[in-house]
Amino acid sequence: MQRKLEIPGRTKPYVMAHRGNRVQCPENTLVAFRQAFKDGADILETDLHLSKDGKFICIHDDTVDRTTDRNGRIEDLTSMEIKQASAFNHMPGFEEERIPLLEETTAVLPENVALALELKSDCFLEEKFCRQLVGELNDAGVLERTIVLSFNMTRILTVHKIAADMPIGLITMQRIIPPSQVDMVGPFFPILWLNPFYLRVAHERGLLVCPLDPVPETRLKHYLKMDCDAIITDNSAVTCQAVQDLLPTIHHTKGK
């Protein structure tokens, strides 16, 4: 039976730090991840690719071109070559930051923070790499609090073949009806307005809902009133504080 993503000691809506705190720090770096933990994020979201030498790399793009001082495709570079790049993402003062391996990310993950991994590569269509991923997460002691996400249903279902109880989540820009075979769904936020019954249907199907809206502040009050289960954000410091400020008001209004 597939388990649900529950974080002991944390209450919903969970705040999901999108690539760490990528406003204050370079995205997908250990400094961005640590800042998100300091901000109070409940879930760290990062992206996964596979290097030429078979290491899982936490980076969004399939190249290092945008966020580092080097060029090249992740799949064509070894992890050592990737580590030579500065992952400063053109932010002064962060020149020493490097692209983290998954093993480095899990090593700094606090015990009360969950991990959301967006599978960006088609290597996750192959069971051997999904088995490698599950094994690495298990060895790191974080498998029980990890969810895998993707825009590609086949990638997450392939992981599900290897670890049948592992939570999986579908991110979608178009589907206005919640899917039934996943644990979490991340609909592009206008879908919640196009289909006002989206949350109700999703919750009836046992799904967690996290709107795809990494700059959520102007719509945050609506998400809280809708009972969204998680809020993704580029700036976990601002969103964590806003949730704390707004929730008592929302609960008071609902209690009337």
Q: What is the pLDDT along the chain (256 residues), one digit of tens a residue?
A: 467 788 888 999 999 999 999 999 999 999 999 999 999 999 999 999 999 999 999 999 999 999 999 999 999 999 999 999 999 999 999 999 999 999 999 999 999 999 999 999 999 999 999 999 999 999 999 999 999 999 999 999 999 999 999 999 999 999 999 998 999 999 999 999 999 999 999 999 999 999 999 999 999 999 999 999 999 999 999 999 999 999 998 865 655 4
CATH of the domain at 147: 3.20.20.190
* Helices and strands of the chain, counted as H and E runs: 9, 9
Q: Give domain status of residue 83, yes or no.
A: yes
Kindly report the pTM of this predicted structure.
Answer: 0.96
Q: Give domain status of residue 7, yes or no.
A: no
| pLDDT score, position 138 | 98
Q: Looking at the annotation, which residues are catalytic?
A: 18, 60
Rounded to an integer, what is the distance from CA 140 to the centroid of its chain?
A: 18
Domain count of the fold of the chain: 1
Q: Give domain status of residue 143, yes or no.
A: yes
Q: Give domain status of residue 2, yes or no.
A: no
Q: Give domain status of residue 6, yes or no.
A: no
Residue 191 has φ and ψ, to the nearest 5°, of: -60, -30
| pLDDT score, position 88 | 98
- Tell me, letter by letter, the H, E, C secondary structure of 143-158: HHHEEEEECCHHHHHH
